[in-house]
């Protein structure tokens, strides 16, 4: 592809080289004027403009370490160009075709990264709808662990839990049976991930129709997991959050991968803040809405109680220091027995206050902003700006 007319946006990129092509566009590697390497996806003028706008909107909203980063978009000669992060290792399907099947530990490490990315996407109320080995890109294969990024959101759609989609889209072999019935939800992405796992362990794409044969896979736990992920009955298909607890995942995960997975899980729980704020009716004693800055700590349980939040909106004080140790609980139990207090008091003492980590991902919206419980002992407050929208 030529670099474009002089003075155009496209002309500011150098060394354009085609690295891939799909049904909706051509992908090039390129170099910015500052030397940074990027990927550029060219979408022809014949493409549906509403679909292009939706893809750009989706990529702008997503921010996860295992999702291809979006930089900018522009139009040149009626063609639309998307500038994104470059994954120089190419696609996963090309990688396994060239090098053969992956070993179990490598396949599990990649699958963990994809699970983290898809979990994040679902929590953002979106479906990818085109999960395949061709849309998984290798960012770094030089180290002992391969880093991958999920890309190509041209078929992604918005969907909340409990909702369904009906358009038949996807890559043959990776499409769940429910898609052909035009009634599917997040479980369709789980089916596609199972097909990606099959590709990693066999270096072959799944057949366009029917369940793939797993005779080439020696690990029985791997076979079982693929069968659970690609079960034709959505009611019997394993849930996304259950995959990491299966025998195949556990037996091929080292401590480094577990730490990576936990850190990634915290990232996927962290919600974005591009949504209107609806007041929960929470006001201070002087009838003014809360307006605490993002640099200040969240309210303690006592402050929230004084401000008369609804019961379902209350977050008790839950620091580690306030949570009784095992020895303290034992001494408390002895004191209770001497005072004739029943087991219900002991139960309340052990389970309250609730640890913050059990509330991770919970939100409280107020007139002034939003509280987000991120992890143990940490809560973030996002301030609503003009227009009642959190920036």
Q: Is 42 assigned a ligand-binding role in the annotation?
A: yes
The single residue listed with the structure tokens 């030529």 is 2
SS3 121: helix
Helix segments in the chain, DSSP class H: 49-61, 92-99, 104-123, 177-180, 187-202, 220-229, 247-251, 255-269, 301-306, 326-339, 343-351
Pair 257, 112: CB distance under 8 Å: yes
SS3 257: helix
Pair 361, 269: CB distance under 8 Å: yes
Angle between helices 343-351 and 326-339 (to 10 degrees): 150
SS3 113: helix
How far is it, in rounded angstroms, from Cα 234 to Cα 177? 9
What would the DSSP string read from start to end of 276-316?
B----S-B-TTSPBP---TTSPPPPHHHHHHTT--GGG---
- Report, in angstroms and rounded to the nearest whole number, the Rg of the chain calculated over CA atoms: 25
Sequence-distant contacts of 55-62: CB under 8 A, at least 24 apart: 55/82, 55/153, 55/154, 55/156, 56/82, 58/126, 58/153, 58/156, 59/84, 59/153, 61/124, 61/272, 61/274, 62/120, 62/121, 62/124, 62/126, 62/153
Catalytic positions are 130
Paired tokens of 51:
């679909």
Number of residues written out for the chain = 391
Annotated binding-site residues read 42
Annotated binding-site residues for ATP read 42
């Amino acid at each position: 592809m030529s670099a474009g007319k002089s003075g155009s946006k496209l002309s500011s990129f150098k060394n354009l080289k085609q690295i891939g092509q799909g049904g909706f566009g051509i992908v090039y590697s390129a170099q910015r004027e500052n030397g940074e390497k990027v990927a550029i996806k060219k979408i022809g003028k014949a493409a549906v403009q509403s679909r292009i706008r939706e893809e750009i909107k989706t990529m702008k909203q997503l921010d996860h370490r295992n999702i291809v980063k979006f930089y900018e978009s522009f139009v040149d000669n009626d063609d639309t160009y998307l500038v994104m992060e470059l994954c120089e290792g190419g696609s996963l399907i090309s990688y396994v075709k060239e090098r053969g099947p992956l070993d179990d530990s490598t396949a599990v490490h990649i699958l963990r990264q994809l699970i983290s990315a898809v979990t994040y996407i679902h929590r953002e109320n979106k479906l990818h709808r085109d999960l395949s080995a061709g849309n998984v890109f290798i960012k770094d294969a030089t180290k002992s662990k391969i880093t991958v990024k999920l890309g190509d959101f041209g078929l992604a759609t918005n969907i909340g839990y409990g909702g369904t989609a009906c358009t038949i889209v996807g890559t043959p072999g990776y499409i769940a049976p429910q898609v052909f019935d035009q009634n599917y939800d997040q479980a369709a992405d789980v089916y596609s991930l199972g097909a990606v796992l099959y590709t990693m362990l066999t270096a072959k794409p799944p057949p366009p129709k029917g369940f793939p044969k797993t005779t080439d896979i020696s690990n029985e736990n791997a076979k079982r997991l693929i069968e659970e992920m690609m079960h034709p009955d959505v009611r019997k298909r394993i849930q996304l959050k259950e995959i990491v607890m299966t025998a195949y995942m556990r037996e091929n995960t080292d401590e480094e991968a577990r730490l990576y997975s936990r850190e990634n899980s915290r990232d996927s729980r962290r919600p974005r803040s591009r949504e209107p704020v609806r007041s929960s009716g929470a006001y201070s004693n002087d009838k003014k809405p809360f307006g605490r800055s993002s640099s200040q700590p969240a309210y303690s349980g006592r402050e929230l109680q004084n401000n008369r939040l609804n019961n379902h909106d209350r977050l008790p004080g839950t620091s580690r220091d306030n949570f009784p140790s095992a020895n303290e609980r034992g001494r408390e139990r002895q004191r209770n027995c001497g005072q004739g207090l029943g087991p219900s008091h002991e139960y309340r003492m052990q389970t309250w206050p609730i640890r913050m980590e059990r509330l991770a991902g919970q939100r409280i919206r107020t007139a002034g902003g939003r509280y987000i419980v991120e992890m143990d002992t940490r809560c973030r407050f996002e301030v609503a700006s003009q227009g009642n929208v959190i920036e």
